[in-house]
Amino acid sequence: FTGLNRTTSNIEPRTYTRSNGIEETDDIKYIDDVENEAIKDELFGEFGFTFDQITEMQGLSIASAIYKTYPAIVNNKTTKVLICCGSELLGKSGLVAARHLKLFGFRATIYNPTPGKTPHYHRLIRQCQEFEISFLSYLPNESRLIAESYELIVDVMEDYSQSLSSQTHDILTKLVEVCNAGIPVISVDVPFGWTPNDGPPRNGIPVLLPECLISLIAPKKCAKLFTGRHHWLGGRFILPSLSRKYKLNSPKYDGSEQIVAIDTHCY
């Protein structure tokens, strides 16, 4: 495989038509980071959800959105996916997503530059290893080699700082170069380098412009600046009382679906 161009790639988005029509994006609330943290505090506190539960449900949502958008097999060849994971809750969800993507027929590889140190994180790594998912210890120096090795890149880096370390700045630069080379990048919740409220970075920091965005819980304010082709909402665990309290106006999920399209580009 060589790098796939977005307009000429054999990987074409799946068609997904919902029976109750297209959701109006303007009806859905875009939340800020304070509201996001408050919702999570209530989920983990009063309502008794565990980190393990949320991690599993978010990971399944991520994998489901990718499966809905990109096929696992193209011309009898398995689609190769590189999942770049951070070390916190979202990064754990990326590990879960990798496990599901392997079950869905993709060839998944994980890059986690700063692995989490919790027992939960190590359990998820062990599960991925037992599913024969490969791990990268470093990214190649040349972004061309990444583009030649993978058809999809999943960004679950969850680094929202405008002042990146030299390591994370280097990773972001490579992902931007791969994206510019035409390899589809799927960002989860907040694109790498963006901030939840203000969006793309400034001060000369490279700007990642993903082709697909998978929002969790509710789209963040920065998602209003997303210009890619596909936008999904996942995380089907928000209680009706929370949705009403924060006026999320969450769209309805069809049947057993774990995701819902919140932008017309998904249809």
| Full domain range(s) for residue 125 | 25-266
Residue 160 within any structural domain of the chain? yes
Across the chain, what does the average pLDDT equal?
A: 88
Residue 134 DSSP one-character state: E
Instruction: Give the pLDDT of residue 236.
Output: 94
Q: What is the pTM of this model?
A: 0.88
Number of domains the chain is built from: 1
Residue 107, phi-psi category: left (phi > 0), alpha (psi -120 to 50), beta (remainder): beta
Residue 97 lies in a domain: yes
On whether residue 180 sits in a domain, the answer given is yes
Query: What is the C-alpha to C-alpha distance for residues 185 and 209, in angstroms, rounded to an integer?
Result: 8
Instruction: Give residues with Cβ within 8 angstroms of 249, minimum separation 6.
Output: 27, 28, 29, 243
User: Domain with 44 in it: what CATH number?
Assistant: 3.40.50.10260
Quick check: is 48 in a domain? yes
Q: Pairing between strand 230-234 and 212-216? A: parallel
Asked whether residue 17 is assigned to any structural domain, the reply reads: no
Do 178 and 154 meet the contact criterion of CB atoms below 8 Å apart?
no
Residue 10 lies in a domain: no
In this structure, is residue 118 part of a structural domain?
Answer: yes
Asked if residue 238 is part of any domain, the answer here is yes
pLDDT at 19 over 50: no
Beta bridge partners of 31: 220
Least confident of 21-35, 58-72, 115-129: 21-35
